[in-house]
A and B are shown apart, each in its own frame.
Chain A
């Protein structure tokens, strides 16, 4: 079992609210990722980080933002939630760059915006 945690696990919030999804890992991994997944669909990369103070946008355009001030922490923020943001958000980490390394996933946050 990977040591990567996400909170909250479930969140129901009204339109226009600011939210932050938390992700933390205790494995000391440099690489961290945020994915978005809709039911029955593939995971889409929305943000990634090579290490502290490094953040990049992924393949899928997202109105969310991320920060990486500490190695173990990679929060995702939505300034003004909308119903279109309803989805599952998965955080992952890996120990090194390159595709040969395992990505470890957190349990996910199921976000519903009403």
Chain B
């Protein structure tokens, strides 16, 4: 069964600190992995997308890593800001359908305190 598991479920950090969010998946055949940021009451916004051959990708203070062998990904946030408070969702796409089927994790709820 194709699944995406994220940890931790929630995280509280102080402004300026770094943090790392984890994602494990069993989706096969693998196409790509994305990290989305979802603010409360809003739709998800893409942060990074990585294919099988990419093992790291950065977007400003966000750096995602991918280990396709162990089927793990992480999202590292550097020098956190209050605006980073949101849910971070790991999404994996399979190669087996023309639909572009996405498998969503439940997200990590990050709260940044001043």
Binding site for B on A (CB under 8 A): 4, 6, 31, 40-45, 48, 88, 90, 92, 94, 97-108, 110
Contacts and interface: CB of A to CB of B under 8 A. Distances in A.
Contacts, number: 67
A102 B95 contact: no
B100 A94 contact: yes
Interface of B: 4, 31-32, 34, 41-46, 49, 51, 89, 93-95, 97-102, 104-107, 109
Contacts of A110: 41
Nearest to B31: A99
A108 B99 CA distance: 21
Given A42-B107, A102-B49, A107-B43, A97 B31 contact: no
B31 A100 contact: yes
A9 B100 CA distance: 27
A108 B40 CA distance: 10
Closest 9 CB pairs of A and B: A99-B93, A105-B43, A99-B31, A42-B104, A99-B100, A43-B104, A97-B98, A42-B106, A105-B44
